[in-house]
């Protein structure tokens, strides 16, 4: 999925399909398939590359390189010197390339990253948080999706009953529709709805639904350091602002839709404000953000979890621990299931049955 997203993004930025095939070292048929589908079928690597020849030697290499921090920079191990010592002192029989690849990956893991405080237009930060609300007379915990454009401080806020992967994606779709454009990049934390796993080299293995969403809208995703909320300080500030200004007193609405309509109105009103230290309104600076952002795709992404099931003898379909009733005429048949933020749709063939 990541390769497909990179190929689609490169072609969207002007690279031809022939050039993409040559650059990514894949066939032109594969490029055509990736451009035709947001989530193209095909083989994906499921595990990191294995280097059995290095087994037992990586600890030695890491010890040498860790010790290099205490010596003068001009007397530290080069990859060539590490290879020679492994071969001469420890009987290493592997190749130079696999040893050098390990050193490169190790250096990437330990290298510190910084997020700049000067924000160019066209980029965004996103987060989820919680607050207590009253919906239809019932006090409950609401989960809020936040997106802020740090250059202009323009924002979007939307509430959900739960912070699910579908809510994350649905929040993005509504935010993009609110701004009318797609940011060039979005900065996130490492929420499990977005990142399935952080690999040893720091690479993020994206969740399936979120990866398909990225491929559809073709923007860059960046991630802060685990446990370092200050890496995306602008949207963290928006969370605090929203709690103080939009959640006090405790919001009371008849429906979630009415509540979200109110939140959207407040986001629009905020665009007339002039932030401290700025001479222009948020709306005036937003114009520069929008000029640097890309157009929306022809159709929005279908923000749903996809699954399959079978109708039981009692005309029930099981989906995520819940049973859903369908017409008895579909008993014992295979069905498809789409789980949205606020609904579950069940179909058989090309027909929706529940």
Among residues 304, 301, 297, which one has the least CA distance to residue 320? 304
Query: What 8-state DSSP symbol labels residue 197?
Result: E
DSSP state of 177: H
pLDDT (0 to 100) of residue 2: 78
User: What homologous superfamily does CATH list for 123-292?
Assistant: Ribonuclease H-like superfamily/Ribonuclease H (3.30.420.10)
Two structure tokens written together for 305 = 């979890």
Backbone angles phi, psi at 220, to 5 degrees: -85, 135
Q: What is the pLDDT of residue 230?
A: 67
For 141, the 3-state DSSP assignment is strand
**310 beta partners:** 334
pLDDT tens track of the chain, all 354 residues?
Answer: 678 888 888 888 888 988 988 898 988 888 888 877 777 555 666 677 778 888 888 889 988 988 888 888 889 899 999 999 999 999 888 889 988 988 888 888 877 666 556 789 999 999 999 999 999 999 999 999 999 999 999 999 999 998 888 999 999 999 999 999 999 999 998 888 888 888 888 888 898 899 999 999 999 999 887 766 667 788 888 999 999 999 989 999 999 999 999 999 999 999 999 988 888 999 999 999 999 999 999 998 888 888 888 888 888 888 888 888 888 888 888 888 888 887 788 888 888 887
3-state DSSP assignment of residue 27: coil
pLDDT value of position 113: 66
As a whole number of angstroms, the distance between CA 116 and CA 70 comes to: 29
Give pLDDT, residue 115.
56
> What residues does each domain of the chain span?
2-36, 52-110, 123-292, 305-352
Per-residue pLDDT at 187: 92
């Amino acid at each position: 999925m990541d390769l497909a997203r990179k190929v689609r993004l490169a072609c969207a930025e002007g690279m031809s399909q022939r050039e993409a095939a040559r650059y990514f070292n894949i066939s032109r048929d594969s490029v055509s398939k990736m451009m035709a589908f947001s989530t193209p079928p095909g083989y994906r690597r499921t595990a990191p590359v294995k280097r059995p020849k290095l087994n037992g030697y990586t600890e030695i290499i890491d010890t040498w390189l860790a010790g290099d921090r205490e010596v003068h920079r001009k007397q530290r191990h080069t990859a060539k010197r590490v290879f020679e010592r492994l071969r001469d002192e420890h009987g290493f029989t592997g190749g130079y390339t696999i040893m050098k690849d390990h050193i490169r990956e190790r250096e990437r893991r330990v290298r510190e990253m910084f997020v700049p405080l000067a924000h160019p237009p066209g980029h965004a930060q996103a987060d989820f948080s919680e607050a207590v609300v009253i919906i239809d007379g019932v006090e409950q915990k609401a989960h809020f999706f936040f997106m802020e454009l740090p250059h202009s401080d323009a924002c979007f806020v939307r509430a959900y009953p739960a912070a699910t992967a579908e809510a994350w994606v649905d929040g993005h779709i509504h935010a993009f529709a609110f701004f009318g454009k797609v940011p060039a990049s979005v900065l996130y934390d490492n929420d499990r709805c977005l990142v399935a796993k952080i690999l040893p080299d720091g690479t993020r293995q994206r969740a399936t639904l979120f990866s398909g969403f990225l491929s559809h809208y073709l923007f860059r995703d960046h991630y802060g350091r685990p446990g370092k909320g200050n890496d995306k300080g602008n949207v963290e500030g928006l969370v605090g602002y929203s709690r103080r200004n939009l959640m006090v007193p405790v919001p009371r609405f008849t429906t979630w839709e009415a509540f979200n309509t109110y939140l959207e109105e407040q986001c629009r009103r905020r665009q007339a404000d002039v932030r401290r230290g700025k001479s222009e309104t948020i709306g005036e600076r937003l114009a520069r953000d929008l000029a640097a952002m890309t157009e929306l795709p022809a159709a929005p992404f279908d923000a749903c979890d996809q699954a399959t099931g079978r109708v039981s003898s009692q005309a029930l379909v099981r989906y995520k621990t819940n049973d859903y009733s369908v017409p008895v005429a579909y008993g014992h048949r295979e069905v498809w299931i789409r789980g949205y933020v606020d609904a579950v749709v069940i179909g058989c063939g090309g027909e929706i049955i529940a």
